[in-house]
C-alpha cells in the first residue's frame, strides 16, 4: 500500500485498479485520478512496455486537460500490457474482457488512445450497453476522433495562436514554417495534413521504423498513403533516412512530438533545434527538459493545452452533439487557452506549463471545494 501511495498528492489519484484475467493473459491498470469536476475521461492505451507510473501520469494529464478545456469531467487512464499489433480476434477478446472487468466503474468514461481505436470502442459499447464510452465509429453513434483529426486540428490552431509569441529572428507565419513530426500515427498524419494546407513545409517525420528528412519538403499525401498501407515513413523514396530518434536533430522551426512519453529528456534536449515545440502527445517531454527549453528561448505549448482537441471531441460526443459542431469549438477554445497561458507566461515570467497548471489546478481545486470528500 505504501508503495502505491507514493504517487498521491492533493489532487489524487483517487483509485488505482489492477485488472488481471490469466485465462487470456489480460493485464491492465486503471487509474482514476480526480472526479471532482465529473465523470473521468481517459483513453485505453495498449503497449507492451506501459507501466503503472505512466498510467498515473497520463491520468493526471487528463484531469488537467479536462479542467483547462472547461469540461465537466475528471481524468483517468487505462493501460493494457499487450502488443497492439496482435491478431484482431485476440485483441477483441482482450478489449471485451477489459470492458467486463471495468463495468462497475460508472465514474469512468472510456475512450481510444495509442494502440486502440474506434472499433475497440464499439466492442466496449457492445459489452457495456451504455454510454460510458466515447470515440465510437459514426455507425455506432459516435464522432470518429481520428477520422476527422480532432486532436491534430487543435494542434494546428495552437501553433497559429503561439507564433506571434515566438522568438524567431524574423516574423514567422505558418505558411513559411518548417515542421518536423515525431510520431506519424493518427495525430501526426492529420497534423501534417492540416499544416501543409496552410502552406507549411514538412521537412521531417518519424515513426517506430525510422525517420526521414528533406529540407525541400516531404510529400505529405505520399507519406499518409504509405502509413495507411501499413508501411513506414522511411519507405518514401525521397529524403535522407535516419534512425527514428534522430528526428530530434532535424533543423526545423516547429517540432511536434506525437508519439510516446518522455521522448525528450535532460540527456537529449540540447539537440533540439526548433524554436516552437507543440506537444501532440501526452507527457512527451520531461519537466526538466521543458524548463531547459524555456531558458533557451524555445517556446513549448504543453500537452494538456495543445492536444485537447481529442478530449473536447469526446466531451461533445458524450453530450450527444454532432460532428458538424466539433471543429469550430475546438478551434476557438484552443486558440483562447494558448493565448491565455502565453500571456501569463510572458507577464509573470514563468513557463507556459506553469501558467497552464495555474489555470487547470485553480479550476480543479474550486470544484473540490464543493465536495464532501474532495476528489470524489
Using H for helix, E for strand and C for coil, what is the string for the chain?
CHHHHCCCECCECCEEEEEEEHHHCEEEEEEEEECCCCCEEEEEEEECCCCHHHHHHHHHHHHHHHHHCCCCCEEEEEEEECCCCCCHHHHHHHHHHHHHHCCCCCCEEEEECCCCCHHHHHHHHHHHCCCCECCCCHHHCCCCHHHHCHHHHHHHHHHHHHHHHCCCCCCCCHHHCEEEEECCCHHHHHHHHHHHHCCCEEEEEEECCEEEECCCCCCHHHHHHHHHCCCCHHHCCCCEEECHHHHHHCCCCEEEECCCCCCECCCCHHHCCCCEEECCCCCCECHHHHHHHHHCCCEEECHHHHCCHHHHHHHHHHCCCCHHHHHHHHHHHHHHHHHHHHHHHHHHCCCHHHHHHHHHHHHHHHHHHCCCCCCC
Residue 284, all three cell numbers: 512527451
Is 27 an active-site residue? no
Residues 6+ away with beta carbon under 8 Å from 310: 145, 150, 151, 154
Active-site position among 77, 91, 125, 189: 77
Closest of 298, 357, 337 to residue 165, by C-alpha: 298
Residues known to be catalytic: 77
Amino acid at each position: 500500500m505504501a508503495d502505491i501511495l507514493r504517487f498521491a498528492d492533493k489532487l489524487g489519484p483517487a483509485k488505482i485498479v489492477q485488472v488481471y484475467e490469466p485465462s487470456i493473459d489480460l493485464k491492465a491498470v486503471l487509474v482514476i485520478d480526480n472526479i471532482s469536476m465529473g465523470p473521468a475521461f481517459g483513453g485505453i492505451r495498449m503497449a507492451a512496455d506501459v507501466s503503472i507510473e505512466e498510467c498515473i501520469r497520463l491520468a493526471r494529464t487528463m484531469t488537467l486537460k479536462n479542467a483547462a478545456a472547461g469540461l465537466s469531467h475528471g481524468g483517468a487512464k487505462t493501460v493494457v500490457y499487450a502488443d497492439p499489433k496482435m491478431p484482431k480476434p485476440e485483441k477483441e477478446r482482450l478489449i471485451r474482457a477489459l470492458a467486463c472487468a471495468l463495468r462497475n466503474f460508472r465514474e469512468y468514461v472510456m475512450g481510444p488512445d495509442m494502440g486502440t481505436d474506434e472499433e475497440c470502442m464499439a466492442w466496449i459499447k457492445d459489452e457495456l450497453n451504455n454510454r460510458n464510452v466515447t470515440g465510437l465509429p459514426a455507425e455506432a453513434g459516435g464522432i470518429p476522433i481520428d477520422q476527422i483529426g480532432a486532436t491534430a486540428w487543435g494542434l494546428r490552431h495552437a501553433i497559429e495562436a503561439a507564433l506571434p509569441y515566438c522568438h524567431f529572428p524574423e516574423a514567422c507565419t505558418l505558411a513559411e514554417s518548417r515542421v518536423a513530426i515525431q510520431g506519424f500515427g493518427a495525430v501526426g498524419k492529420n497534423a501534417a495534413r492540416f499544416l501543409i494546407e496552410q502552406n507549411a513545409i514538412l521537412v521531417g517525420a518519424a515513426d517506430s521504423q525510422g525517420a526521414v528528412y528533406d529540407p525541400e519538403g516531404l510529400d505529405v499525401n505520399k507519406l499518409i498513403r504509405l502509413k495507411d498501407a501499413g508501411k513506414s515513413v522511411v519507405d518514401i523514396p525521397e529524403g535522407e533516412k535516419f534512425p527514428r530518434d534522430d528526428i530530434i536533430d532535424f533543423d526545423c522551426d516547429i517540432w511536434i512530438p506525437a508519439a510516446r512519453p518522455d521522448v525528450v529528456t535532460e540527456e537529449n534536449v540540447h539537440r533540439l533545434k526548433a524554436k516552437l515545440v507543440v506537444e501532440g502527445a501526452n507527457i512527451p517531454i520531461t519537466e526538466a527538459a521543458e524548463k531547459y527549453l524555456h531558458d533557451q528561448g524555445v517556446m513549448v505549448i504543453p500537452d494538456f493545452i495543445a492536444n485537447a482537441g481529442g478530449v473536447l471531441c469526446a466531451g461533445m460526443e458524450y453530450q450527444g452533439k454532432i460532428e458538424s459542431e466539433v471543429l469550430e469549438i475546438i478551434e476557438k477554445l484552443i486558440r483562447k487557452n494558448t493565448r491565455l497561458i502565453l500571456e501569463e507566461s510572458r507577464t509573470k515570467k514563468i513557463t507556459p506549463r506553469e501558467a497552464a497548471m495555474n489555470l487547470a489546478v485553480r479550476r480543479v481545486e474550486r470544484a473540490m471545494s464543493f465536495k464532501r470528500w474532495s476528489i470524489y
